[in-house]
Amino acid sequence: MSRLTTPSLDEVPAGARQTLDKLGKQLGFVPNMFKTIASNPTVLEAVTTLQGTMSRVLDARTRHSIALAVSQSNGCDYCLAIHTYTSSEYGGMSSDDIDLARAGSSVDPKRAAAARFAQQVVDSRGQVSDGDLAAVRDAGYADPEILAIVTVAVQALLTNFINNVNQTDIDIPAATAAR
């Protein structure tokens, strides 16, 4: 059971309600995580703005792979559920791709390097080795892309922490087979 207050949709402030309505249209439902965050409209704005901004870096499958790898490292069941759902439903990732991403890997070597590096960033609290940096560079990532990998990892880490603190009730529809 969630440990923080999750207001009903009727109880959230007007500005937050607009954001939740937009999310509901995008996803087909309003996830419990966003309902909970909506109790603080400033935090909701920060999270959704960061997510929107980061949707413009890297490709979608790489972002999904990073989110899955980081959520696995942090043991965030809620984030694993939502990222599995969105990776399958909107990212076109197969269940095998999703499983590999959770392990910090991929059938695509470049994407695998990004997922692995993101896990190393999280697991080492940013204290990655020269070898870790060399490996992600050797996979084809330049420094601006490495900054994007770190930021996508931190974005996932933010929601992992919120959901782990809250123990957010999982309300994610079961993902269907990837198209």
Q: How far is CA 94 from CA 98, 172, 176, in A?
A: 6, 18, 10
Confidence of residue 10 (pLDDT cuts 50, 70, 90): confident
Interval 37-50 mean pLDDT: 96
| Cβ atoms of residues 77 and 95 within 8 Å | no
Which residue has better confidence, 178 or 136?
136
- Does the domain formed by 60-166 have CATH 1.20.1290.10? yes
How high is the pLDDT of residue 167? Answer: 96
Confidence of residue 92 (pLDDT cuts 50, 70, 90): very high
Q: Tens of pLDDT along 142-161?
A: 999 999 999 999 999 999 99
Q: Tens of pLDDT along 52-86?
A: 999 999 999 999 999 999 999 999 999 999 999 99
Radius of gyration of the chain (CA): 16
How high is the pLDDT of residue 39? Answer: 93
Residue 178 in this model has a pLDDT that exceeds 50: no
The per-residue pLDDT of the chain, averaged, comes to: 93
* Domain extent listing, the chain: 14-54, 60-166
CA-to-CA distance for 149 and 154, rounded, in angstroms?
9
Query: Same CATH fold, 60-166 and 14-54?
Result: no
End-to-end, the C-alpha distance of the chain in Å comes to 33
| Cβ atoms of residues 44 and 34 within 8 Å | yes
Query: Which fold, 14-54?
Result: 1.20.5
pTM: predicted TM-score of the whole model, two decimal places: 0.93
How high is the pLDDT of residue 176? Answer: 57
